[in-house]
Amino acid sequence: GDSVTQMEGPVTLSEEACLTINCTYTATGYPSLFWYVQYPGEGLQLLLKATKADDKGSNKGFEATYRKETTSFHLEKGSVQVSDSAVYFCALTSPGYSSASKIIFGSGTRLSIRP
């Protein structure tokens, strides 16, 4: 079945460091890909998304490119801030599904940024 695999955390970086959180997927058809962010004690917020191959999603300095050839959707940021500390979830949905139930989440990657 469809699945999402994220790099395990926690990831700890210093402020202004470069960030990459790896995400790869297995899916039938042509899924849409998402990154969600969860700040401590809160719900999930959509960070960015891409709906077709080679699309780049971007928001708040974060970027991710839909790579069909490598089935990847890695999250990147050039210079992280303390306020970026959160848990990041990669997810996919496929328009081929007949119901709304099939959003598949990765297990999440906790990111901590040191001042």
Partner 1 sequence: DGGITQSPKYLFRKEGQNVTLSCEQNLNHDAMYWYRQDPGQGLRLIYYSQIVNDFQKGDIAEGYSVSREKKESFPLTVTSAQKNPTAFYLCASSIGGGGADTQYFGPGTRLTVL
Applying CB under 8 A, does 34 fall inside the site for partner 1? yes
The token pair that represents 53 in the structure block: 């191959």
User: Any idea what DSSP says for residue 28?
Assistant: S
d(CA 105, CA 92): 7
Neighbours of 24 (CB within 10 A): 17
Residue of the chain from 22, 59, 85, 94 that contacts partner 1 (CB under 8 A): 94
x/- letters, 12..31, toward partner 1 (CB under 8 A): --------------------
Could you give the count of Cα atoms lying within 13 Å of 74 in the half-sphere of its Cβ? 10
* Contact present, 70 and 26 (Cβ < 8 Å): no
Applying CB under 8 A, does 49 fall inside the site for partner 1? yes
Applying CB under 8 A, does 97 fall inside the site for partner 1? yes
Tell me how far, at minimum, the Cβ of 99 lies from partner 1, in Å. Answer: 6
Which of 76, 108, 102 is closest to 90 using CA atoms?
108
Q: Which is nearer to partner 1, 16 or 30 (CB)?
A: 30
Binding residues with partner 1: total (CB under 8 A): 27
Q: Which of residues 59-88 bind partner 1 (CB under 8 A)?
A: none
